[in-house]
Amino acid sequence: MIARIIGTGSCLPESIVTNDDLAGIMDTSDEWIASRTGIRKRHLAKDETTAFMASEAARKALENAGIEADKVDMIIVGTITGDYITPSTACQVQGRLGAVNAVAFDINAACSGFMYAFHTAYAYLQTGIYKTVLVLGAETLSKIMDWTDRSTCVLFGDGAGAAVVQAFEEGGQQASEKEMMGERNGLLAFEQGSDGARGMVLNCRGRLNHNPLTTNPFAPSYVSMDGQEVYKFAVSTVPVSIRRVLGKAGVEVGDIKFFILHQANLRIIQSVAKRLKADVDKFPVSLDHCGNISAASVPVLLDEMNRKGMLNRGDKIVMSGFGGGLTWASAVIEW
Ligand code: COA
């Protein structure tokens, strides 16, 4: 069985907020943010909801793949900022698209959310349970930021990205001309992990518990992060994860055309490139104009590259996500 990405899409909120705009409302500067992170601006939702952005990204991905919504068997959304606890964002996407034959659910793996969803999709495809899966990462992080904490709120943005993943039998009949696009090999290998013991270095509590029967009601909170610990986690874990997945796929660092990393910080990306002894030019960047959009960052960047024509048949690509949980996940795909 081959699991291929056959279409991508993304949606960013209309409103763009520059570092200078932020400097107008808090004690920060373009110089501090850009030099520490590489971020220059981000899209922040005004009226757009997580479900709206996810649905738009999904619609574009289906269009890009040439697939009708009723052909989708499953929708998985990686998100920590759904508009509702229930219904899930995936169910909302299903309803908005009219994907009547799809089963839909969300995954909470923070910035690894899209990669976890992609690997979960693969498990269903590989066992033959489903054939076509919509995989998304969608976030409205601006609503869980502490806007009085300049060390976190300047880092994040909002948006959604989607990919249509389809199963093909090796050497089997292709379903349509669009699907015949290649002798592409799809997902070659993946690996993922979690470290709950260190999870509190990046946390955000749920809503207020006002149950009168409890003696320990807790207040909700916004995102709180030990930036340096998260930084150390990322630069030590991601290169190991990528080396591991390359080993599983039987390919070398030099065989990889692009390393599409979760977009948290330019310095993290540069450090990973250095540790892998890979050319930093192979690490495309979107955080300069998107900031960190958590689960959405990998699929948004993938879609940008796809639409620019940067991805060619046969290219080997690494995708890697890491973040809250703590969680991480990497895959090698052949486009
Ligand atoms: N503007 C101006 N100054 C700021 C600031 C801002 N937005 N945020 C923090 N500062 C100040 C601090 O108050 C501190 O000042 P002090 O020395 O007077 O106390 C100084 O800058 C240094 O803060 P520090 O937190 O030590 O900076 P840092 O070099 O560790 O950089 C991060 C902070 C967040 C950029 C960095 O730790 C990081 O990128 N970590 C990884 C975070 C991440 O990627 N998270 C998501 C993972 S999915």
Same domain for 231 and 150: no
Same domain for 142 and 65: yes
Same domain for 234 and 85: no
Q: In the chain, how many domains are there?
A: 2
For residues 225 and 200, the answer to whether their CB atoms sit within 8 Å is no
Domain boundary, last residue among 119, 141, 168: 168
pLDDT tens-digit profile, the chain (335 residues): 889 999 999 999 999 999 999 999 999 999 999 999 999 999 999 999 999 999 999 999 999 999 999 999 999 999 999 999 999 999 999 999 999 999 999 999 999 999 999 999 999 999 999 999 999 999 999 999 999 999 999 999 999 999 999 998 876 554 444 444 444 579 999 999 999 999 999 999 887 778 888 777 677 789 999 999 999 999 999 999 999 999 999 999 999 999 999 999 999 999 999 999 999 999 999 999 999 999 999 999 999 999 999 999 899 999 999 999 999 999 999 99
The domain that holds 210 is classified in CATH as: 3.40.47.10
The answer as to whether 173 is a domain residue is no
| Residues 6+ positions from 333 with CB-CB distance below 8 Å | 5, 186, 187, 188, 316, 317, 319
What is the rounded distance in angstroms from the CA atom of residue 267 to the CA atom of residue 232? 11
Domain boundary, last residue among 168, 192, 217: 168
Q: What are phi and psi of 318, to 5 degrees?
A: -100, 135
Q: Which of 11, 91, 111, 153 is catalytic?
A: 111
What is the rounded distance in angstroms from the CA atom of residue 136 to the CA atom of residue 161? 6
Query: Ligand 1 center to residue 151 CA distance, Å?
Result: 5
Same domain for 136 and 76: yes
Q: Which of 262, 265, 290, 306 is catalytic?
A: 262
For residues 6 and 179, the answer to whether their CB atoms sit within 8 Å is yes
Domain boundary, last residue among 140, 168, 196: 168
Which of ligand 1's atoms lies nearest the C-alpha of 110? Answer: 48
- Both tokens of residue 92? 């909302």
DSSP state of 207: S
Query: Ligand 1 center to residue 19 CA distance, Å?
Result: 15
Q: Which of 200, 324, 334 is nearest to 257 (CA)?
A: 334
Same domain for 189 and 155: no
Around Cβ 92, how many Cβ atoms within 10 Å?
A: 24
- Domain with 111, as residue range(s), is 2-168
- Helices 297-307 and 113-126, axial angle in degrees (round to 10): 80
